[in-house]
Amino acid sequence: MKTYHRTLMDLTVTNGEVVCTDGSPFDRVAYSLFKYGYIPPAREYGYRLAALISEDLWDLCDGRPIRIISAPYKYLPTASHLIATYLLEALSIEAVQHGLEPPMLVPFHKARTGSDAYAKSNDVEFRRARNKTRGMHLDESLVTGTVFLVVDDIRITGSAEEGTATYLEPLGPYAVWYLHAAALVESAGLSNPSLEDELNQTVPHTLNEILAQVADSTFQLNTRVLRLMLQSNVDGMESFVTVAPTQLLAEMQQAAIGSGLEYYTKYLDNVRRIGNQLQLRGRYVIQPVLT
């Protein structure tokens, strides 16, 4: 089996600042917005990754089926899934122009919903241990003899990639390409494992900002931003649900339920506020009673 690694931006930490090793700027504001559902950076990352690998990919895969996965998720994907979606779009166009079957975006699941503890952790071993207990699974019949493109947004310590490799590679793919929008050089990553959360929080993320992006059609719900929204205080959520589009509220409600009973119960009050608003708008909603 062959493995390849490609990264758009190699990063390091110099005088406390995150910079690209080649001297080009790293737009941490765009990256931070992307992690909470802002679409344009994800589109850029996906298209640029396609351009980065396409010249080699078609030769090295030699006509074999290409599968794409993002970071594993329980119900609602992470932000990396949107990068994978745009990578798929760009590579699909190229594939048919080469007379090849287009790649397939494969659902990649895990047993439980993540939390922000992983991104915030300064403990490299904790991050590795979390990845070993995620209960990853996909349709294993799609793996043997195929080419897998594993897409993630950032590589900090490499523990997430290690966890995916431990699961995927023994299934017998012909080749695995590990693709990242950004990656810290190893020494900086091991010295700054919690940097992921610092980058995520470069700019404040608010419900009003989300509503503006929804109005501009530049927002995509993901697991991180859903958690942020459901953690909002009573006044913030009451104001949000009165003006948010019905489709977004319905997606939020279903995502909270699909993430499991423990997750649903944790955010029950705000999920009920969403359900109440959907009922007011004529949507058929059953409000469960939990004791």
**pLDDT per residue as tens digits for the range 141-177:** 999 999 999 999 999 989 899 999 999 999 999 999 9
User: Rounded to an integer, what distance in angstroms lies between the CA atom of residue 83 and that of residue 71?
Assistant: 10
Other beta carbons less than 10 A from residue 44's beta carbon: 17
First-residue to last-residue Cα distance in the chain: 52
Tokens of 81: 């899934």
**pLDDT per residue as tens digits for the range 252-270:** 999 999 999 999 999 999 9
Mean pLDDT value of segment 31-49? 98
Model pTM score: 0.89
Backbone torsion region of residue 219, taken as left when φ is above 0, otherwise alpha when ψ lies between -120 and 50, otherwise beta: beta
Dihedral sign (CA 222, 164, 120, 19) = negative
pLDDT at residue 80 greater than cutoff 80: yes
For the ranges 22-26, 29-33, 137-141, 269-273, the lowest mean pLDDT is seen at 22-26
